Amino acid sequence: MIVNGAQHGLATTVMALLQPGDVVATDALTYPGFKVLAEAHRLELAPIPAAGHGPDLDALERLCKSRRVRGVYAMPTLHNPLGWVLSASRRRQLVSIARRHGLLIIEDAAYAFPAEDPPDPSAALAPETTVYVSGLSKSVATGLRVGFVAAPAEWVPKLERAIRATTWNTPGVMTAIACGWLDDGTVTRLESEKRRDATIRQAIAADILARLHCVRHPTSYFVWLPLPEEIRADQVAMALTRDRISVSTAEPFATSTQVPHAIRLALGSVERDTLRGALEKVKRAIDEQAY
């Protein structure tokens, strides 16, 4: 199904397949847009801590044994904001837990495009219980608000009703452009160009932030920067605002009560020739807060 962007695909899924009061497991740090959807639809988000390059699936298993969990929201390929790509074995473990406890898997693949040859998505491993959501605004062009939802056939009527209740359909011209670019290879080419661009930007970030602990993927457009214990993220963000640099703290991403002091750097929001200077200001602001 075609929707008005990946965010609309998530909203459609929540509206069609979940009920107020449902418990949805999600990472302790996750996409802020899903937090907003959960609040709007009165869902309870149950945080799952990270364990290495992915969520703690043993913790998810324990949660499902102690609570009536309806679904799990996951970003197995290029997690936002932590940048992990879940291994094939851990994807199989996630699917096994979902099948054992009857979980709906909402797989958000909006940022998956920069990852080369990732393992199969959950939608391929467990198509009977997964809703796969993606779009073209991140991978091709911000203004191309076209998204996609793949779901089991029996869920499609509910999803279609939710689409009609919200936007009815996507603009015809935009849909035609998206479909044409998918067919003629333009999307593949643009995604490849963006992957190369992200790799260059990550190399710049690795050079300038070498002394800091960075959590990142080498082809993603963002960096997660945990801060030293004595430094407050809000003070760093405020200092950078005076330099006309905007960064995100961990607060919008956190689903648990314990919010780490960290910042998320979006590497694709400035021209490449100004990125180095901006990152140097980030490093300087962190260094100054350490005194």
Q: What is the pLDDT of residues 28-61, one digit of tens each?
A: 999 999 999 999 999 999 999 999 889 999 999 9
For range 279-290, the mean pLDDT: 91
Could you tell me if 86 and 165 are in contact, meaning their C-beta atoms sit under 8 angstroms apart? no
Q: Do 258 and 154 sit in the same domain of this protein?
A: no
Considering 184, 211, 226, which residue would you say is the last residue of a domain? 184
Write the CATH number for 206.
3.90.1150.10
pLDDT at 217: 94
d(CA 24, CA 68): 9
Instruction: Return the closest-CA partner of residue 34 out of 14, 19, 53.
Output: 14
For range 125-143, the mean pLDDT: 90
Q: Do 22 and 122 sit in the same domain of this protein?
A: yes
For range 241-265, the mean pLDDT: 94
Residue 291 — very low, low, confident or very high, per pLDDT cuts 50/70/90?
Answer: low
pLDDT at 50: 94
pLDDT tens, residue by residue, 192-246: 999 999 999 999 999 999 989 999 999 999 999 999 888 999 999 999 999 899 9
Q: Do 141 and 165 sit in the same domain of this protein?
A: yes
DSSP 8-state class, residue 187: H
Compute φ and ψ for 56, nearest 5 degrees.
Answer: -80, 95
According to DSSP, the residues that pair with 223 across neighbouring strands are 216, 265
What is the tally of structural domains in the chain?
2
Considering only residues 127 and 165, tell me which one the structure prediction assigns the higher pLDDT: 127
CA atoms within 13 A on the CB side of 250: 19
Residue 168 — very low, low, confident or very high, per pLDDT cuts 50/70/90?
Answer: low
Q: Do 126 and 26 sit in the same domain of this protein?
A: yes
E-strand spans in the chain?
2-3, 23-27, 44-48, 69-74, 104-108, 130-135, 147-150, 215-216, 222-226, 248-249, 262-266
Mean per-residue pLDDT over the chain, rounded: 92
Considering 135, 152, 184, which residue would you say is the last residue of a domain? 184
What residues make up the domain containing 180?
2-184
Q: Do 160 and 239 sit in the same domain of this protein?
A: no
Q: Do 195 and 146 sit in the same domain of this protein?
A: no
